[in-house]
C-alpha cells in the first residue's frame, strides 16, 4: 500500500525540571543573561500579582478570578517573543503575556470586578490587543480575522491567540486554524495545555498523542513545547512569529504545563484531581527551574530574590489601591453603550434602575 503522507511532532526543551540544560544550542536571547533575569523578574511579578488577585477575591473585593499559577513561563514566553505591532487575542488567564505588553493590574482588577473599562487598556502595545475572552475559543476567530487583514494590507504583522487544552476541541479553534492554513495567514495559535479543562482531564479530552498535531490537518507547522521552560517557549514562539511574518504560514504550538491552582476562584479542584498529581506538578513548575539555572550562572541569588519580591509587593499595593479608588460608573452605564437608540424595553429598565439607585443613595 502506498502512503499519501507522513507526519511527526517535534518536542522542544532546553531546561529540565531542575533547571539543568539538556542541550547546548541556546538561542541568542538566552545568552543574554541580563535579559533572562528580566524575564524571571516578570514571571515572579506575575506570581505575586496572581496571589494578590486571589486574596482580593477571597476578601470580597473582586469577582470570580481565573488564576495563572504555574503558567508563568508559558505566558511570559509568549508575550516577550511578540513585536509591539503584533496583535494578541487572549482567553482569560494569560496575564504574564499581557503584563509584558503593557496591561496594568488595575485594569485586570477592574474587569474581574465587573467594570468593562478594564478592557480599555491605556498603554501600548496592549492598547491595540483584544479584550479578555471568556466564551471559549471565540478569540481564535478574532485572531484569524486580524491575520487576514494583515495579509490583505501587506503588513508584516502577526496575530497570536491562546487557547486551553479543552478549548482546542471547539469548532471555533478548528475554523481559525483551517482558514489560516488555507489562506496562508500570519496566525500563531498557542494551545496552553495545562492538563485540565475545569474538571475534564487531558486524557479524555482527545485521543491524539499530542494536541499540537491538530494543526497538521490545517496545513500548519506544529510543535509541542515544554511549557514550563521559558527558553523553549520563547524560542518556539520566535520561530513561529518569524515564519508567519515572512509569509511562510501559520503555526500551532502546544505548550505542556500544569494548572497548579483551581480553574477559577469558583472552583475546588480537590474534588476531581489527586493530591499526589498536584505535588508532582509542583516539582516541575517553571519558576524553580529558571531560578536554578540563573543561580548556576551566578546572576541571581537569595538577596536579589528578596529585594525584587519587596518591589513586587509595593507595586501590587499601588495597583490595588488604584483599583479600589477608581470611581464607580453610574448605574446607567450598562444601558448607554450598546444601541445608538435605546429600545423601549431597555429604556424602561434604565429608568427603573435609575430610580432604584436614587432610593439606595
Point out the catalytic residue in the list 47, 234, 263, 289. Answer: 263
Marked catalytic residue, from 272, 289, 350, 361 = 272
Strands 196-197, 200-201: pairing is antiparallel
Nearest Cα to Cα of residue 329 among 317, 321, 337: 337
CB contact at 8 A, 160 and 78: yes
Query: CA–CA separation, 75 vs 233, rounded Å?
Result: 9
**Which among 112, 86, 110 has a CA at the least distance from the CA of 100?**
86
40 classed as catalytic: no
CB of 166 closer than 8 Å to CB of 191: no
3-state SS, residue 164: strand
Residue 233 CA to residue 238 CA, distance in Å, equals 9
Residue whose entry in the numeric block shows the C-alpha cell 490583505: 152
Torsion of CA 202, 204, 206, 211, to 10 degrees: 10
**Between the CA of residue 30 and those of 21, 34, 168, what are the distances in Å?**
12, 9, 30
Report d(CA 218, CA 174) in Å as an integer. Answer: 8
Q: Round to whole Å and give the CA distance between 314 and 326.
A: 19
Largest separation between any pair of C-alpha atoms in the chain: 80
As a whole number of angstroms, the distance between CA 185 and CA 188 comes to 9
The yes-or-no answer on residue 259 being catalytic is yes
Catalytic residue among 47, 259, 289, 323: 259
What are the strands of the beta sheet with 221-226, ordered from one edge? 10-12, 221-226, 251-256, 187-193, 159-164, 87-89
- Residue 307 near residue 325, CB atoms below 8 Å: no
Residues 183, 312: Cα–Cα separation, whole Å: 44
Asked about 263 being catalytic, the answer comes back as yes
Residues 6+ apart with CB under 8 A from 337: none
Q: Cβ distance 19 to 289 under 8 Å?
A: yes
What are the residue numbers of the active site? 259, 263, 272
Amino acid at each position: 500500500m502506498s502512503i499519501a503522507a507522513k507526519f511527526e511532532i517535534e518536542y522542544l526543551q532546553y531546561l529540565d525540571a531542575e533547571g539543568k540544560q539538556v542541550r547546548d544550542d541556546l538561542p541568542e536571547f538566552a545568552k543574554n543573561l541580563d535579559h533572562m533575569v528580566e524575564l524571571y523578574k516578570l514571571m515572579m511579578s506575575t506570581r505575586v500579582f496572581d496571589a494578590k488577585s486571589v486574596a482580593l477575591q477571597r476578601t470580597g473585593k473582586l469577582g470570580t478570578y481565573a488564576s495563572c499559577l504555574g503558567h508563568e513561563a508559558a505566558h511570559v514566553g509568549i508575550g516577550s517573543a511578540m513585536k509591539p505591532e503584533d496583535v494578541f487575542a487572549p482567553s482569560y488567564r494569560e496575564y504574564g503575556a499581557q503584563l509584558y505588553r503593557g496591561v496594568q493590574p488595575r485594569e485586570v482588577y477592574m474587569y474581574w470586578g465587573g467594570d468593562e473599562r478594564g478592557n480599555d487598556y491605556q498603554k501600548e502595545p496592549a492598547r491595540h490587543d483584544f479584550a479578555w475572552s471568556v466564551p471559549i475559543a471565540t478569540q481564535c476567530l478574532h485572531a484569524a480575522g486580524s491575520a487576514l487583514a494583515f495579509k490583505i494590507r501587506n503588513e508584516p504583522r502577526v496575530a497570536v491567540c491562546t487557547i486551553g487544552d479543552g478549548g482546542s476541541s471547539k469548532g471555533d479553534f478548528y475554523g481559525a486554524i483551517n482558514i489560516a492554513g488555507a489562506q496562508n495567514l500570519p496566525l500563531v495559535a498557542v494551545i496552553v495545555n495545562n492538563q485540565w479543562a475545569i474538571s475534564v482531564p487531558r486524557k479524555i479530552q482527545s485521543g491524539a498523542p499530542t494536541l499540537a498535531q491538530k494543526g497538521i490537518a490545517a496545513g500548519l507547522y506544529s510543535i509541542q513545547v515544554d511549557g514550563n521552560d521559558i527558553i523553549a517557549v520563547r524560542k518556539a514562539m520566535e520561530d513561529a512569529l518569524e515564519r508567519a511574518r515572512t509569509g511562510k504560514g501559520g503555526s500551532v504550538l502546544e505548550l505542556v504545563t500544569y494548572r497548579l491552582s483551581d480553574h477559577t476562584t469558583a472552583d475546588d479542584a480537590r474534588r476531581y484531581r489527586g493530591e499526589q498529581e498536584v505535588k508532582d506538578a509542583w516539582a516541575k513548575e517553571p519558576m524553580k527551574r529558571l531560578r536554578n539555572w540563573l543561580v548556576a550562572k551566578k546572576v541571581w541569588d537569595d538577596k536579589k530574590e528578596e529585594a525584587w519580591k519587596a518591589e513586587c509587593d509595593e507595586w501590587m499595593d499601588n495597583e490595588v489601591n488604584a483599583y479600589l479608588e477608581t470611581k464607580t460608573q453610574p448605574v446607567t452605564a450598562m444601558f448607554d453603550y450598546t444601541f445608538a437608540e435605546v429600545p423601549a424595553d431597555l429604556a424602561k429598565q434604565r429608568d427603573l434602575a435609575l430610580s432604584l439607585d436614587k432610593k439606595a443613595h
